[in-house]
Amino acid sequence: MHDHVDSAAEDDRYMRLALELARRGGTLVAPNPLVGAVLVRDGRLLGEGWHERYGGPHAEANAVRNARERGIADLRGATLYVTLEPCSHRGKTPPCADLVVQSGVGRVVYGMQDPNPAVSGRGLERLSRAGIRVEPSGLERLCLALNRPFVKHVTTGHPFITLKTALSLDGKTATASGESRWISGERSRADAHRLRGESGAVLCGIGTVLSDDPALTARGTLPPAFAPPVRVIADSRLRIPESSALVRSARVTPTWVMTAERALEGAEAGGKLKALRNAGVTVIPVPADARGGLDLRALSAELGRRGINSVLLEGGATLAAGALEAGIVDRIRYYLAPTLLGGAGAPGAVGGNGCGPLAAAWRLEDIAMERLGADFVIDARVDYSGRRPCSPV
């Protein structure tokens, strides 16, 4: 019994180390998953690795290479801890399951199965057929939380979308006169920039661009493994000014303008389109919805097709409402300032026509709350019970 407890504790400790390693992949691995791997024998760490960049060697290969760099060529009897089931198919790299078998490892503890229905379980089956003991770690929830963007993208084609808003305690995002800088405190704003840096793309509506002329960059120094997020503007009528900060910096930071197909017609639109492209902006046509705006589910799918698996949605009650109505928001992160702004005409966090009857309200689950300076931060997942979201996670 004592040995079993010690073994379970050891498995837990090394899987948590593998999770820490996995996080080092940052955004450079997208749309692939974050994966970490650790090799251990008789309580001794033999090698460790993580998936470092898209198209590069996977975590298992890096861990084996690391062990060899330490002078350990014989891995017989070792345990491999890996946060995701070793792949069984050839992509940009050879199948990891074959590498693990060839390495001589005797046991594999995995964090979660591959969510891709086309390959799920096949890597584990390959290992078992080769006589390797295969066991789940018990930390599946943590491994899933680490890779929610990958899971959603690989199972639905859509990115994982987080709706971020700063608002007063009475639900206002600005005063009645339109003043919004700054509702939240300095620590909340720094946290919001961290969120930007950890996202594949930052999405905002054209209304925010016209009123605030934002830069939408992640201020502060990004860790080496985090690439600047793509800036995406939902702009159905192609109104973005050529003089805007986004257009002027498009050659430095990737900038995509998603616009309605009909907005690209005509000589005037042709001139605007040419000017934007000359400035380095990528203009992407998206189908319109019945109300003349953009079909946000189509926009989400287009981002997914272009390899974006995580999006931070910022700014604009109209865009927030449209995204919720389209069922594409997976998570909300609200920064609540301890202030009351009042004003019947002051904008709220979510516009549009509302949820309809109370029973149809968007409800939240897995709710977490913390303090950042004077602000309260609420982080939760959107529950689409009774609706039809595009996310199963």
Q: Which comes out higher in pLDDT, residue 338 or 352?
A: 338
Question: Taking 90 as the threshold, does the pLDDT of residue 258 lie above it?
Answer: yes
> How many other CB atoms sit within 10 Å of the CB of residue 185?
17
Catalytic residue among 48, 60, 85, 314: 60
Average pLDDT, the chain: 87
Calculate ∠ Cα 145-61-113, nearest 5°.
35
Q: Which comes out higher in pLDDT, residue 98 or 243?
A: 243
Which residues does 153 contact at the CB level (< 8 Å), separation at least 6?
31, 159, 160, 304, 309
Residue 265 is predicted with a pLDDT of 80
Residue with tokens 């904008």: 347
**What phi and psi values does residue 301 have, to the nearest 5 degrees?**
-65, -40
Question: Taking 80 as the threshold, does the pLDDT of residue 2 lie above it?
Answer: no
The maximal CA–CA distance of the chain, rounded, in angstroms, is: 79
Separation of alpha carbons 283 and 273, rounded Å = 7
**pTM listed for this prediction:** 0.86
Q: Which comes out higher in pLDDT, residue 391 or 178?
A: 178
Q: What is the pLDDT of residues 194-241, one digit of tens each?
A: 888 889 999 999 988 998 888 888 776 566 677 789 999 999 999 999
Question: Taking 90 as the threshold, does the pLDDT of residue 49 lie above it?
Answer: yes
Q: Which comes out higher in pLDDT, residue 226 or 103?
A: 103
160 and 152 Cβ atoms separated by less than 8 Å: yes
Residue 297 is predicted with a pLDDT of 95
Q: What is the pLDDT of residues 290-332, one digit of tens each?
A: 888 899 999 999 999 999 999 999 978 889 989 998 999 999 9
Separation of alpha carbons 280 and 254, rounded Å = 8
Question: 60 catalytic, yes or no?
Answer: yes
Does residue 31 have a cis bond before it (omega within 30 degrees)? yes
Sheet strands (E) in the chain: 36-41, 44-50, 79-82, 107-110, 133-136, 160-168, 201-205, 230-234, 255-260, 282-286, 310-314, 331-337, 363-372, 375-383
